[in-house]
Structure 1
Amino acid sequence: MDESILTAPSINLRSNINLQQQSPLFSVLPAEIRSLIFTCALTDYEDITQDAFGRDTYWYRPGYQAKRRTATELLRTCKRVFQETWFLPFALAEHCFFLTQENRAPSKHVTVERMKEYLTTLREFARNQDGMDIPHIQSIRVFAQLWALEDSRRLQEVLDLEGFQPKNITITLRYTDFWYWEHDRPMHIDAKWVNTVRFPSSVSTISMDFEMIDRRKNEVDFITDLATQRWFFRRADGMAFRASKEDITTTRWTGSSTFNKSRWIRDESRPNEIDYYVKTVVWKPAPGFTPFASAGGDRCPNLDIPAGFAREQPPYMREFTHISVDDLETYNIPYDAPAQEVQEAMMRIARERQAAIVRRRRGSLSQHV
C-alpha cells in the first residue's frame, strides 16, 4: 500500500462537481469500460525505479523486488474522476503484512497500527459521503515466520481490523521462515493457528505458499498433500473452507544464496544462487461441509515429515554450511567461487589455523622445559 494515500481529502463527492460532459471519457464511454480503465490505472505495482529491494534481503522475491506503489495522480485531475475512483487505491492494492523479526521485513512496511490509522481516516471520509461504507479490498498477503504464525493472536489481530474486509488472503511461508532451516531440519508446521484463527466473513479464498529449496521439493509435495487433505479453515460466520488438489499450483524462481551477510553454500544450485520450489494450496468455501463430522474431534493435525522419509541430503554438510561475506573477503576467496571450492578453501584455512595453534602450544611447552 502506498503511504501517500493515507491522508483523507477535504472534499464532498456530492457537491459542486462538473460532470465533464465535454470529455469522451464520460460522455461516450460506458461506465463499465471507464471502470476497467480506472482499475488498470490504479492497480498497485512494483516501483523498481525507486526503493528497489536488495537481492540479498530476506524479502526479495518475484512480485516483491521493490516497494509497491499506486499512481494516484489520476485522482487529482478533477472531482468527477475522484468521485468514481477515490476508493480504488485502497480496494485494489495488495496489502502486505510481515509477521516476522524486524530484520526479515523492509524498513518501510505497513504495520497493524499504521493500518488502523488508515482505516479510521478512510472510514471517517466514507461516512461523510452520505454514510458510505469502506469498500471491500481484493487481497492481503501475510509473510510470516512460523514462530509468529503459530502465535495465532498475531494473525487474528490483522484479520480483526475494524472495517478490514478482504476477499482473498494469501499466507506466504518462505524457506527462511521455517523452523530450523539453518540446520536443514525436516519441515514441520504446527496447526494451532489453523484451529483457532477465524477469517472475516468477506473472505472467498485462502491461499498458502509453501516455499522450499529445490533439493527438498519432495518434502513440499508431501506437506502440501497433507495440508490439502487434512487442513480446513473457518470463517467467523462458521463457513468451512476446504482445498482441492486440482487448485494446487507450482512455481519456481531463483534467488540469492546470501542472507544477513552470510553465503549459504550448502543450499546453492549455482554459485551465489538458490533455486526455489513453491507450491500454492487454495482453500475455498464449502457450503454444508462439516470437516470433522466423520473423523471425530474438531482439530486439524500438525504437518510433519515422517521418520524414515527419503530426504535428499545436502552435498556440503560438514563444518561450513555458510560463510560470512566478510570471511570471503578476508581470505581472498572469489565471491563467485563454486560452493565446493569455498568449502575446501575454508577447511584448508581451518587446518592451517589448527596447525598454528599446535605449533604455538609446543613452543610454549618447550620454553618451560
Structure 2
Amino acid sequence: NPQHQSPLFNKLPGELRNEIFKWMLVPYDDPDPEKHYSEDSYWYRPGFEASKKVECALLQTCKLIYCESRRAVMREAEHPFWFGASRGPPGRAGTADCIRFFTRGLSNENVEDLTSVHFFTQMYWIEDGSNLAKIFRLRNFRPKRLTITFRYSDWWYWESNEDLRMSEEWLARFDGPPGLKELCVEYETLAWKKSQLDAIVARNKDWKLAVQDGNHLSAADTKLEEWKWNGPSKLAGQTWGHHGDSDTVEYVVVVDRW
C-alpha cells in the first residue's frame, strides 16, 4: 500500500521523512528508575546515567513506515561495551558479552548499518592490543566510528594515586576493522592530574593507525577537545583518601580523534 491518502507520504519528500524517522528513533535514557545507574558506579558518567531505550512504536505503525525507517535503529544507536571486572552494567560488561553481540543475531543489513561502537576499557584489557585484535577480527564488527574511553578508574593503580601511565603497544598493534573511518579516544582523570594526562595525549597523537582495508587513521590535523564534570568522590560505595573531603571530585576529559 503506497499510502497515497496520507500527507506523510503524498506531501513530504522521502529525505524529510527520513530525518523525522531518524530523530524519532534516537536512543534515550530509559525512564524506568530500575534502569538508572547508581551515581557512584564505575560506569556512571555524563551521557551514561541509565541504560538506553529506543521507542519502536513507530515501526509498528504500518509496513511502509517500517520499510522506510527500520534501518535508522541501527544507524542512530551507539553500542557501548565495558571491559574489566565489574566495571559495566550486566549484559554489556566483558569480552564475552561483546563477542556474543557481534556473533549472534546480527543480519547482514544490521552489519551494513552499524555506525558507532563505544568501548570503556581498563588498561590491563587494552594495553597489549590482543583483546582489541580479537574483536577487530570478528566478521560482523564493522563500525564506521569507534570511541574508546579511558575513565579515571581505568588507569593503573588509580586506587593508590599512582602517576598516570599507558603503554603504546595497543597503538602499535592497532589494525582497525574494514570500513572504520574514525577513532575517537577520550582520556579522563582528576582535574589536578591533567598535566600527566596531557603528556600521554601528546605522545599518542603522533601515532598513525592501520585499518584492515589498507587505509590509515591520523590525528595529525585534528584539534583536541576538553570538558569537565563533577562526580561523586565515592566509587562503588568506597571512600578514597586522595579524593579529599568533598562529596564530589572534578574530572577532566581530553578528546582526540583519528
Shift of 1:246: 4.5
- Taking the TM superposition and a 5 Å limit, the aligned residue runs for 1:178-189 are 178-189=155-166
Distance 1:157 1:25 in 2: 45
**What is the match of residue 44 of structure 1?**
27
Distance 1:104 1:265 in 2: 21
Shift of 1:172: 0.2
Alignment CA distance shift 1:267-1:58 (3 Å): same
Shift of 1:245: 6.3
**What is the match of residue 116 of structure 1?**
103
Distance 1:89 1:164 in 2: 17
> Is residue 94 from structure 1 mapped to residue 65 from structure 2 by the alignment?
no
Cα-to-partner distance string for 1:173-207 (whole Å, 9 max, x where unaligned): 00010111111111111122212231122111111
CA contact (8 A) 1:91 1:135 kept: no
CA contact (8 A) 1:263 1:272 kept: no
**What is the match of residue 254 of structure 1?**
230
Distance 2:255 2:171 in 1: 16
Residue type of the alignment partner of 2:253 = V
Q: Percent identity?
A: 29
Distance 2:158 2:70 in 1: 44
Tell me the secondary structure at the aligned position of residue 82 of structure 1.
helix
Question: Where do 5+ consecutive residues of structure 1 fail to align?
Answer: 1-17, 127-132, 284-369
Distance 1:160 1:92 in 2: 24
TM-score by length of 2: 0.92
Shift of 1:34: 0.5
Q: CA RMSD for the aligned pairs?
A: 1.7
**What is the match of residue 180 of structure 2?**
203
> Is residue 243 from structure 1 mapped to residue 219 from structure 2 by the alignment?
yes
**What is the match of residue 27 of structure 1?**
10
Alignment CA distance shift 1:159-1:72 (3 Å): farther
Residue type of the alignment partner of 1:275 = E
Shift of 1:165: 2.1
Which of the pair has more CA radius of gyration? 1
Tell me the secondary structure at the aligned position of residue 258 of structure 1.
coil
Distance 2:113 2:134 in 1: 18
Distance 1:46 1:142 in 2: 18
CA contact (8 A) 1:257 1:272 kept: yes
Alignment CA distance shift 1:192-1:90 (3 Å): same
Cα-to-partner distance string for 1:77-132 (whole Å, 9 max, x where unaligned): 1100111122221221101111211x11112325321332131xx23xx5xxxxxx
> Is residue 71 from structure 1 mapped to residue 55 from structure 2 by the alignment?
yes
CA contact (8 A) 1:244 1:282 kept: no
Distance 2:145 2:101 in 1: 21
- Taking the TM superposition and a 5 Å limit, the aligned residue runs for 1:223-242 are 223-228=200-205, 230-242=206-218
Alignment CA distance shift 1:277-1:138 (3 Å): same
Distance 2:256 2:82 in 1: 20
Distance 1:48 1:225 in 2: 40
Distance 1:235 1:211 in 2: 25
Distance 2:18 2:138 in 1: 28
Distance 1:164 1:25 in 2: 35
Shift of 1:158: 2.6
> Is residue 279 from structure 1 mapped to residue 254 from structure 2 by the alignment?
yes
Distance 2:22 2:254 in 1: 29
Distance 1:23 1:159 in 2: 45
Cα-to-partner distance string for 1:213-253 (whole Å, 9 max, x where unaligned): 0110111122211111x322110022222113642100101
Distance 1:191 1:238 in 2: 21
CA contact (8 A) 2:230 2:248 kept: yes
Residue type of the alignment partner of 1:211 = E
- Taking the TM superposition and a 5 Å limit, the aligned residue runs for 1:288-303 are none
Distance 1:210 1:236 in 2: 25
Residue type of the alignment partner of 2:58 = L
Count of residue pairs the alignment pairs up: 253
